[in-house]
Amino acid sequence: MRFAAEDLLRCRFAISPLRETQGAIRTLSRPDRHGYHLPWLRQVRTAAAGLDLTLLRLLSPESGYGPDFLHPLPDAPLATLEDELSAIRATQPEVARRQIAAALAQTPGADRMRRGRAMLLDPAGAVRQLAAVYDQVWSALLLPHWPRLRAVLEADVAYHARRLADGGMQRLFTGLHPKLSWSEGALTAAGHAPRLPEPAGHGIVLVPSVFFWPEAGSAFDPPWQPTVVYPARGIGGLWAETGPAASTALIRLLGANRAAILSGLDSPTTTTALAHRHALAMSSVSAHLVVLRDAGLLASRRYGHQVLYERTPLGVAMMTGGLL
């Protein structure tokens, strides 16, 4: 896929709760492939047993086509699940029926099963049901963990945005995923047709995901804006119970809470995520961050409507004991 100059100006990142919900459902189906998420799988086992995922699994073959209307493009850096479900619910019945039929055709006999036939006979009702199932999965399995998940996703976006700023598209796609490479203004996605459609000035949307690991997913067919869903960095420690312990000297100097916040900032993080991680009130975390920033130990920067905090070189030296 060759990018023109206007495409390069329209490359953006987006965080999608819906993509995480879809990835979580796949993880439930294939727990043997997702060792990183075993702690989460154990935590949600009871809640997951009460969910009926038959409709979604009928439309999600292991390989092949899945309905496009179930994958609306995030139109904001940090979409809400309700925004994405509203886009699904707005699908026209004739579009839904055509795409449902194409997806069912990937599984022999699926279109003759009772639920498959019901979706084809009432595509508008099927759209409402599918959106409702996503909402149920989100509420039961992901919402309690969203601050932790969002912190990892935001940190990944901050990391790759810095790489893009430092070295352009070449550096961005180096290490993003083995299937993706960039050379001389062209993106190559292994496993696709010899020639991908041109972006035609639409650019590309990059969506990090916790639950898609180790795969990458992509959508390049018009009328969709080219989109790549790739595995986020840092999932190895995602379900760890506690962050790194602060040293005794650092605690004496800064106090227990500020020392814990500074020690745990291995990647750019929001106030909300820090409050969840350290079980502190948002107001308390905000006050601690101001003190640490004013002391030159942290820096803050805005990404969309989020403010991310990260250690400065002085903060790193302080945390590692270089100044203690």
- Cβ neighbors of 78 (< 8 A, separation 6 or more) are 14, 15, 150, 154, 304, 305, 306
- Residues 293, 172 share a domain: no
Q: Do 196 and 263 share a structural domain? A: no
Is residue 253 in a domain?
yes
pLDDT at res. 241: 62
- Residue at 62 is within a domain: yes
Residue type, 222: P
Give the pLDDT of residue 40: 92
Extract the residue ranges of the chain whose pLDDT is less than 50: 242-243, 322
Same domain, yes or no: 265 and 204: no
Per the structure, the complete domain to which residue 303 belongs is given by 248-319
User: Which CATH number goes with the domain that contains 312?
Assistant: 1.10.10.10
> Do both 187 and 83 map to the same domain?
yes
- 75 and 218 share a domain? yes
Q: Are residues 266 and 145 in the same domain?
A: no
Q: Which of 142, 144, 162 is nearest to 267 (CA)?
A: 162
Q: Same domain for 217 and 273?
A: no
Report the distance separating Cα 317 and Cα 323, nearest Å. Answer: 6
Q: Is 116 within the bounds of a domain?
A: yes
Q: Are residues 227 and 162 in the same domain?
A: yes
Residue 242 domain flag: no
Question: Is residue 309 situated within a structural domain?
Answer: yes
Please list the residues that pair with 298 across neighbouring strands. 311
Neighbours of 196 (CB within 10 A): 17
In a domain, 79, yes or no: yes
Contact 71, 36 (CB under 8 A): no
Of 231, 258, 281, the domain-final residue: 231
- Determine the Cα–Cα distance for residues 248 and 10; give it in Å rounded to an integer: 47
| Residues 310 and 203 both lie in one domain | no
- The structural domain count of the chain equals 2
Q: Which amino acid is at 229?
A: V
Q: Are residues 209 and 136 in the same domain?
A: yes
**Rounded distance, CA 107 to CA 118, Å?**
16
Neighbour count for residue 259 (Cβ, 10 Å): 23
User: How high is the pLDDT of residue 273?
Assistant: 86
Query: Of the residues 172, 200, 231, which one is the last residue of a structural domain?
Result: 231
32 located within any domain: yes
CB 1 within 8 Å of CB 196: yes
| Residue 241 domain-assigned (yes or no) | no
- Find, among 169, 161, 200, the residue nearest to 6 by Cα: 200
Q: 31 with 161, same domain?
A: yes
Of 231, 258, 282, which residue constitutes the final position of a domain? 231
pTM for the model: 0.74
